[in-house]
Copies of this chain bind each other. A is one copy, B any other.
Amino acid sequence: MTGHTPAIDSRLLAALQRVVGKEQVATAAEERLSYAYDGSGREHSPAAVVFPENCAQIAAILRLAGEYQVPVIPRGAGTGMCGGAVATRGGIMLALSRMDQILEIDADNQVAVVQPGVITADLQRAVQHHGLYYPPDPASRAFCTIGGNVACGAGGPAAVKYGVTRDYVLGLKAVLANGDIIHTGVRTAKGVVGYDLTRLLVGSEGTLAVIGEITLRLVPAPTTRQTMLLLCRDLQQATGLVSAILRRLTPATLEYLDRTALNLVADRLPAGLMEHALSQIGQSPAAMLLLELDGNPEEVAGQTRQLNEFLQDQPGVLVYAAADREEAEQLWAARRAVSPAAFKLRPHKISDDIVVPRSRIPELVAAAEQLAADTGLPIFTFGHAGDGNIHVNIMLDRDDPREAGAAEGVRAAIQQRTLALGGTLSGEHGVGISKAAAITAELDQAGLELMKKLKRLFDPGNILNPGKIFPDQDV
């Protein structure tokens, strides 16, 4: 249910209509409701949805919002997982969907300049025509926008080799709360003039400025891929293999499933594979690694050789190499089926996106298994073993008060354990609303105070996505 939203001031409404045109301001309840939620499932209607088409319009909107002291919530595609794009205090939903142009692909310098509303997968396809590759690959890349990726610091499986969104942002055109337009960074790989405002804005979740244009670094497209699956005796063995593999080579992706996750999708693996693993390992496999090698043909051949040389000395592992892209796709489909299959266990899910140093994954998962045993709730983990980014899934029936309470306790215990292991509470989803309470546990007091001061410096009127990231009502 959406909370109460005060109606927009009629003078502000008229002024907004003058800026973007009457048809680009939506105030009907059903239109506002369409922009009330994001991937977190939380929901609160804005007072109006405004669709700017350039930075000058964004600047004018922010100046008006400052004048009328109304919140502005920038929004890409609303695929964020933490409520960062929910209008918790009403105000103006700044929908950037009309700013969806790829302004330039400079193949010689391997740079793209895009507007924030470009769909991530569309950019990936467009640069591929130039033999280039934009590696960041959030799971929602078919729908999510580059602007949202930049605002949240989105990641994805390719991070282990290629890094995350922030590693590809060379420069930004951004609109400050007072309507000033700044250009940060450069369009070259190097550049050290002044402070790194680019990276300060990346991951700031719309709380410091509105991102209006993005200059991205591209890389040459790999020509060859090889997917391999490893079934392991247990997770301890699997994560040991991860560290050992990464000392020898750098796969493009290196994912794992724990015992529960593997069992959820075992029937989607190639026929007979689990049985073959049982006979070879001497027990039913309790963890799976899925990795993809990429590069030129010789490079992939070399990585495959290194991997096989190493694995042949490892007892209790079944190695399965996809014969072709079709088989590779089947393996990846099994990996993607984990999340939907989880609802076989319980009707609801609480999901967290923590990171621990990858050698500590077994400790974290052991803690999760213990919590599952203690509470009776099914808990499974899977994710990016190569970079320690784990998706912890607590399955529950929200209508059962005992389960609902226990699940929150499990979540808190997992977060605490994550920090004790030297980890962080969000690897790629961001803070938004749903992790705002946790931020104080992770950051030291002086650092948190400094961040709040930065927020006040950039946005003294607290109009830019207020109530996000920081736990307090007002920064």
B358 touches A422 (CB 8 A): no
A446 touches B180 (CB 8 A): yes
Q: Which residues of B contact A107 (CB under 8 A)?
A: 243, 247
Quote the shortest CB–CB distance from A409 to chain B (angstroms). 22
A220-B247 CB under 8 A given contacts A298-B298, A302-B296: yes
Quote the shortest CB–CB distance from A3 to chain B (angstroms). 26
Interface size, chain A (Cβ < 8 Å): 94
**CB within 8 Å of B: which A163-184 residues:** 163-164, 166-167, 176, 180-184
Mask, A102-114, CB within 8 Å of B = 1, is: 0000111111000
Among residues of B, the one whose C-beta sits closest to the C-beta of A156 is: B190
B108 touches A188 (CB 8 A): no
Among residues of B, the one whose C-beta sits closest to the C-beta of A469 is: B194
User: Is residue A429 within 8 Å, beta carbon to beta carbon, of the partner chain?
Assistant: yes
The 7 closest A-B pairs by CB, nearest first: A298-B302, A190-B427, A199-B199, A153-B192, A299-B299, A108-B359, A180-B446
Q: Which residues of B contact A469 (CB under 8 A)?
A: 194
Number of copies: 2
Q: Give Cα A82–Cα B346 distance, bound, in whole angstroms.
A: 62
Mask, A404-433, CB within 8 Å of B = 1, is: 000000000000000000111111111100
User: Is residue A7 within 8 Å, beta carbon to beta carbon, of the partner chain?
Assistant: no
User: Is residue A160 within 8 Å, beta carbon to beta carbon, of the partner chain?
Assistant: yes
Q: Which residues of B contact A20 (CB under 8 A)?
A: none
Q: Apart from A199-B200, A299-B302, what are 12 other A-B pairs with CB-CB below 8 Å?
A: A159-B189, A160-B189, A164-B190, A190-B388, A190-B389, A192-B426, A195-B208, A195-B451, A196-B200, A197-B451, A220-B246, A296-B299
A451 contacts which of B109, B194, B249 (Cβ < 8 Å)? Answer: B194
Q: Give Cα A145–Cα B85 distance, bound, in whole angstroms.
A: 43
Among residues of B, the one whose C-beta sits closest to the C-beta of A200 is: B200
Mask, A426-453, CB within 8 Å of B = 1, is: 1111110001000100111011101101
Interface residues of A (CB under 8 A from B): 106-111, 130-132, 152-153, 155, 159-160, 163-164, 166-167, 176, 180-184, 186-197, 199-200, 202-204, 208, 219-220, 243, 246-250, 295-299, 301-303, 305-306, 355-359, 384, 387-389, 422-431, 435, 439, 442-444, 446-448, 450-451, 453-454, 457-458, 469
A426 contacts which of B108, B131, B193, B451 (Cβ < 8 Å)? Answer: B193
Among residues of B, the one whose C-beta sits closest to the C-beta of A165 is: B192
Quote the shortest CB–CB distance from A297 to chain B (angstroms). 6
Q: Give Cα A361–Cα B220 distance, bound, in whole angstroms.
A: 20
Q: Which residues of B contact A306 (CB under 8 A)?
A: 296
Q: Which residues of B contact A132 (CB under 8 A)?
A: 247
A246-B442 CB under 8 A given contacts A193-B425, A303-B296, A357-B187: no
Q: Give Cα A58–Cα B301 distance, bound, in whole angstroms.
A: 51
A108 contacts which of B183, B358, B387, B422 (Cβ < 8 Å)? Answer: B358
Q: Give Cα A166–Cα B298 distance, bound, in whole angstroms.
A: 31
Q: Which residues of B contact A159 (CB under 8 A)?
A: 189-190
A203 contacts which of B196, B250, B388, B448 (Cβ < 8 Å)? Answer: B196
A189 contacts which of B303, B388, B429 (Cβ < 8 Å)? Answer: B388
Q: Which residues of B contact A188 (CB under 8 A)?
A: 355-358, 387-389, 422-424, 427
Quote the shortest CB–CB distance from A245 to chain B (angstroms). 10
Among residues of B, the one whose C-beta sits closest to the C-beta of A131 is: B247
Q: Which residues of B contact A429 (CB under 8 A)?
A: 192
Q: Give Cα A447–Cα B271 distance, bound, in whole angstroms.
A: 59
A-B contact pairs, 24 of them (CB 8 A): A107-B247, A108-B357, A108-B358, A111-B357, A131-B247, A132-B247, A152-B192, A160-B189, A164-B190, A166-B196, A181-B444, A188-B424, A188-B427, A191-B427, A192-B431, A193-B431, A193-B439, A193-B443, A195-B203, A195-B451, A196-B202, A199-B200, A302-B302, A457-B457
Quote the shortest CB–CB distance from A156 to chain B (angstroms). 10
